[in-house]
Amino acid sequence: MKHYHILSRIAIYLLAVVMIIFGTFHFFNPHDLLVYVPPSLPGGILWAYFTGTAFILVGIALITNNMVKAAGYLLSALLMLFVLTIHVPNYLNAGDHEMKTMALINILKDTAIAAFAMHIAAGAYHQHLNLDNSD
């Protein structure tokens, strides 16, 4: 059982590093990501910075083992929101096969990361959100 705990911590740290890298990418290349912000959404470039900040904060929460339950559930919700509002419409409206393939890859990637984030959050028994008493 000890090996399972070590491997799960390594997996969580890897996710944290990935999220911090994604977050810093949002700060260094915000204009590249602006095309993904729906034009009807006010704020424009601020959404790239908001998302980058959220990804970095999730990474820090996972590394420090603080607020893991909240960070995991919020990351999962954010990624599923991206899937439904950005990636699925991109997939459905892509005229080019390459763009359709990239949209599908983004759907699968964000769904997988969201599922892993939910798994981490559900396993954070010692960090209650006071949603129920079952943890």
- Closest by CA to 101, choosing from 90, 112, 85, 115, is 90
64 contact partners, CB below 8 Å, separation of at least 6? none
Q: What are the residues whose beta carbons fall under 8 Å from the beta carbon of 41, sequence distance 6 or more?
A: 47
Please give the structure tokens belonging to residue 83: 């899937």
> With bands split at pLDDT 50, 70 and 90, how would you rate the model's confidence at 115?
very high
Q: What confidence tens digit (pLDDT) does each residue in 4-20 have?
A: 678 888 999 999 999 99
d(CA 112, CA 30): 24
Question: CA-CA distance, 36 to 21, in Å (whole number)?
Answer: 18
CA quadruple 63, 64, 69, 71: dihedral positive or negative? negative
117-133 pLDDT, tens digit each: 999 999 887 665 444 54
pLDDT at 87 over 60: yes
- In tens, the pLDDT along 32-75 reads 888 877 777 788 889 999 999 999 999 999 999 889 999 999 99
